[in-house]
Amino acid sequence: MKIGFVGLGKMGASMTERLLGGGHEVVAYDLSEDAREAARKKGAGTADSLRALVKALPAPRVVWVMVPSGKPTEMTISSLAELLEDGDILIDGGNSRYTDSVRRGEALRNKGIAFLDAGTSGGVWGLKEGYCLMVGGDEAAYGTAEPVFKTLAPENGCARVGKSGAGHYVKMVHNGVEYALLEAYAEGFEIMQAKKEYSLDLGAISALWNRGSVVRSWLLELAETAFRNEPGLASVKGYVEDTGEGRWTVLEALEENVPAPAITLSLLQRVRSRQQESFGAKVIAALRNAFGGHAVRKE
């Protein structure tokens, strides 16, 4: 089928390429001329504006938006809402907050435009392995766009999980779980790395754990590669960002009165990783010195 694709960053460019490889006709738009040129070389048609992109698509149109969450997504969807027509389908595959997707779905539905929120997981490996797609929104619109989802996903890797907002809600929780998994692996490897008397080969242990153990996973495959390339990870700074979904998951857990200590602590560990030195730790050191005479290390 013919689809418009907005956003040609790391994910968007690879998704466009996978769609082209699956036999779809893609008209792509990005603010960057270089990104558009790269898409042209892969076989995509391109447009130099959202208006031109919409005009290049036959009705009913299907347009996929893959831009950063927040203001870029808001502006893009608002602009497309003025250009699309009754019966068209707009898909947001970015990491939008699910409450925003509920609001956008309602606003677009009032204009006769179907909205699908597609939580997308797969990262830079998605081109080769496929993307897991968690989709919320109108069932009929999902059916129309399903050939696109099936091309992007591996076998059984896409599903409509509920009404508007459900796709990004499930992706939000998915990312919260990811935070906790990463933290668990990080703590385990740090404990082993600290046991100097054994000189443990963490790359070999990653590979070993992936052969039948209950903690085997794709993340361990990536860990094996990372440790093989640089055993001590000396060039990697332990500064870990979060893109919002972990925070939203913790807030949702509190809102629903669900205890989620592992996810919550993994989020806080990311925040801690960005401090060169913790002021709170200084307070503790000062108080221990005050009440117990414990030594304080000076800067």
Question: Which of the residues are catalytic?
Answer: 171, 178
With beta carbons less than 8 A apart as the criterion, state whether 137 and 167 touch: yes
Residue 57: closest CA among 6, 105, 98? 6
Kindly state the DSSP code that residue 9 receives in the 8-state scheme: S
Residue 134: closest CA among 148, 118, 153, 114? 118
Q: How far apart are CA 56 and CA 34, in angstroms?
A: 20
Q: How far apart are CA 202 and CA 204, in angstroms?
A: 5
Q: How far apart are CA 295 and CA 16, in angstroms?
A: 59
Sheet with 132-137, strands from edge to edge, namely 45-46, 25-29, 2-6, 62-65, 89-92, 114-121, 132-137, 158-162
Length of the chain: 299
Q: Where would I find the beta strands (DSSP E) of the chain?
A: 2-6, 25-29, 45-46, 62-65, 89-92, 114-121, 132-137, 158-162
Q: Helix (H, G, I), strand (E, B), or coil: what is residue 80?
A: helix
| Helix (H) / strand (E) containing 288 | helix 279-292
